[in-house]
Structure 1
Amino acid sequence: MGTLAIKRHHPDFRSTFDYDDDNTHIPKSSHPNSNSNSNSNSNSNSRVSRLHLYPTQMAPVSREIQAPCIIVRGFTGKRFNNSSNRLINNNNNSSSVKFVNFEKDDDIVELGYVDNNNNNDNSMQIDGFRFRDSGVEEIEVEMVESEKEEVNNKLGEVQEIRAKYRELDVKAEENRRVQVSASLESLSVGQRAEAGVPYYKRLLCDSVEKTDARLKRLSFDISFFEGKRALFEQLIPAKKDEDVLIEPFRPLDDDDLTMVANAFSNSSRRKVLVTHEESNITISGEVLRCLRPGAWLNDEVINLYLELLKEREKKEPKKFLKCHFFNTFFYKKLIGGGRTGYDYKSVRRWTTQRKLGYGLLECDKMFIPVHKEIHWCLAVINKKEKKFQYLDSLGGIDKQVMRVLAKYIVDEAKDKNGEDIDVSAWQQEFVTDLPNQENGFDCGVFMIKYADFYSRGLSLCFSQEHMPYFRLRTAKEILKLRAD
């Protein structure tokens, strides 16, 4: 079977449709009733009367072309079925022919239908226009065998690819189900065995157990490293003293050594070298000679040095602890009066706010020199750490000093602040891990250096071999009236 197509360039096409000069878009009708010999008025009237012959314009129907497809020009009575890519004839037992109009090779512009019910004449109507048989030719539309084979091959490849995709989808689904079931079985191991417990609860329990185990491990690591750090902290002070403590062991320059040598000379024995106005202490060459090697320290040198330590703390409060230094007469006065060996009233005015410029109980540490006939020791009221300390360079112990100082601090708090403090829980420490003297004359130097290092907040990192240097350094500081 063939199909009908319009041959617009056919020789009879132009003769069949004659266009007016003025209205080229309106063809002259070839209807048998039309009179070609009528006058102009009748022609114009016939033109108007023929307007009803134009059919109602139909909206174009867009149609998406599916590849692969065959492009057909003109109108045809056959159409394409995209699913099988075969031509289907619409002319069988049908009174209309589907019309497809193409302006370009691949673009469908409009669709129409041709009514073939009128079989009386050899004409065909398309969208209201009627054409004679002379303007229509029958064209056989056939697909080339090579094109058919190529299309079939492509369809076969597509079907094979789809089949492979289906197989892969089935395998992926099976693998997913296997993995889910395996994971659920693994989650059930070691979890609650109660019937009816949802999997998410079992999973939660398992995560909690794992978290607890992790926390236990972290807790163990923390405790381990804390203990390790504590061990290192015990070693840090000694190492710090060796590496950082430069100031307490700073060497004397040549000028300082010359100044000290002149003060120790015989020509300076009767001279007044320095006078400390605040404490009213005068140091002559004879008094200063107690700092020469092998001599015992006297009260004037000890008291002036302790005054210099207090002034050092006032000048640099952030560098040193807040301390108070009693002179060598305080403890003798405290235990000298009364029948019981304790007399607070005799020293009550020594620590007034007006005299000191600060409250005694505001201090972190209070240093009390203790003289035992021919030996010097140091007692400390350590308010910061709440303990009483006793330092003897010969390793001696004196419990009476502890009792006297405990009673004194209670009376001092009651008298100055009106407070009742309890020192029964304070520790009484007889310091044993301290530098000891190895002769019979350096006890005074050990005592003042105990106070010096404790007021710095440092450990006692010196020994007997440093005593000659400390004697020269103390003499230099007294001559300059400044403790470094």
Structure 2
Amino acid sequence: MSLNERRMEAIEHYVFEQREMNKRLEAMEKFLSENFPSFNSSTAAVHVQSSSRTMSDEMKKAECAEVIAECMFEDTQPIKDVLAKPEPSSSGIAKCVRGRVDRKAKEVKTPYTKGQYKRKVLKKAAVRPSPAKVELTNALIEVESQRSPGPRPAPTKIDYPGRQMISDDMRMFIDACLEKYTDMSDTIYTAGNIQIFRSQIDELLTDQYLDDNHIDAFASLLAEKNKLRPGLYQPFIYVSSLHWASKKYDMKSKQYVSHINKDAVTASNFLLLPVNDNEHWTLLVAYLKKATWYFFDSLPNPHRAVLLIVINHLQEETQGCFQTDIKTWKILEAEGVPTQTNGFDCGMFVCKYMENVIQTNSVKWDLLMNLQAEMPKFRAELAFILLCSTLKR
């Protein structure tokens, strides 16, 4: 019954989000089609849902048009419907939709942030230009200047769950960093196109849902540790979850597999590919020497349906890199692995799955079945390591 309840909550959550998103997109599409005939409304949909780290010019235009649409629609029913609170009769996860903190390079918009209704104040101007006379390019510049990020104060102290599970030195260093980096947009860790901000450190410490930056940063740290201590891990290839996300939103995704070639595949034992489907993290691992896929899921939920799509997309963009067609490889579900007992640690479980799979010695999962109890400690330790990168600057 407990499993069925969690599955029902996940379904309710998905349906709720899709319904709210569709209302907003329908209102925007109507406005754009009437006032911006040359504007491709599908770009706006990509901007709202995409998890890419960079914002193209088209996406900036979409953001501009969205702001204009909100102002034009302030007295109409569609926007009011979108901004309305969920009815009291709503049940399950729909009551506590968890929005992420705004990023510098990416922004996810929902009517709800951390379970609290977030009003958008639409100020009425004394005189507004006619929609037909709005110049999109000029409006883009105006909106960009209005949206320049201001200070976003961060708490100087956090009583996080893993505080008493780490050493005194770690705890003191984290406290010092929280007092030093007092803006949510302060950059803590960078590696390639991966960026971790102060806001994401707070998410990590306070038992919040991890995003692609957290997972990618963890994989980057594994590679760094292996360089410092050669042989610590077996050779592996990592593919960011953004490769699959970009495919879903019809964006360029080949950049995320540009490091995969015949030599890299031959020299590696594993390919690690985190998958985010319906706001749940799972891990797909290719055992390259066995030509076999293993699927790691910290919840006993049916998330296998997306795997073939992910593998097919990977095969399309890495043609000739593998000796055989990876679409024909057997897919096995990893059995006897530790699982989660809450609704927010799936990202950390994916991180620990990756770390243990690539160990030089064969992993003994039966000795790690208490992983859930140590998750607050693992979160604090990861935050500590990321904060240590600030010492290099």
Q: Could you tell me the TM-score, scaled by structure 1's length?
A: 0.41
Q: Name the structure with the higher helix share.
A: 2
Larger radius of gyration: 1
Larger RCO (CA under 8 A, 6+ residues apart): 2
TM-score between both structures, scaled by the size of structure 2: 0.49
Report which of the two has the higher share of strand: 1
